[in-house]
Amino acid sequence: IGNDTQDKFLNVEEASSNRDAMAKMIFNKIFAWVFELCNVILVDPKSANKETCTIGVLDIFGFEVFKKNSLEQMCIDLTNEQLQGFFNQSIFVAEQEE
């Protein structure tokens, strides 16, 4: 607090674990902030029930519905979408070549 500092000596494993935990927390905070901002921008202010507004992400296995999505789930969905797009493109190119 203020100009006070504290030193805590950690071994490599502990330091790596703390670094990873901090990075995950920061990414989760940014993720939540981005989607809160999206909700503010996308929700009609005249809507009677703002709780009924949702954004669904379609992945190769169908819709995933969670009460609250995490950064990890969004990354999984994004990766699945990219893999599906690559697969579709490869199949269409192979079909056109035949």
Tens of pLDDT along 52-98?
A: 555 555 555 555 666 666 767 777 777 877 888 888 888 887 778 77
DSSP string, 49-71: -GGG----EEETTEEE--SS--H
The model's pLDDT over 17-50, given as tens digits with 9 standing for 90+, comes to 999 999 989 988 888 888 778 777 777 667 656 5
More confident of the two residues 10 and 61: 10
Give the per-residue pLDDT at 19: 92
* Residue 15 or residue 96, greater confidence: 15
Residue linked to tokens 């703390």: 18
pLDDT for residue 21: 93
pLDDT score for 90: 85
Per the listing, tokens 């929700």 go with: 43
Q: What is the average pLDDT score of the chain?
A: 77
pLDDT at 63: 53
- Tell whether the torsion through CA atoms of 48, 40, 75 and 71 is positive or negative: negative
* pLDDT at residue 13, as a whole number: 95
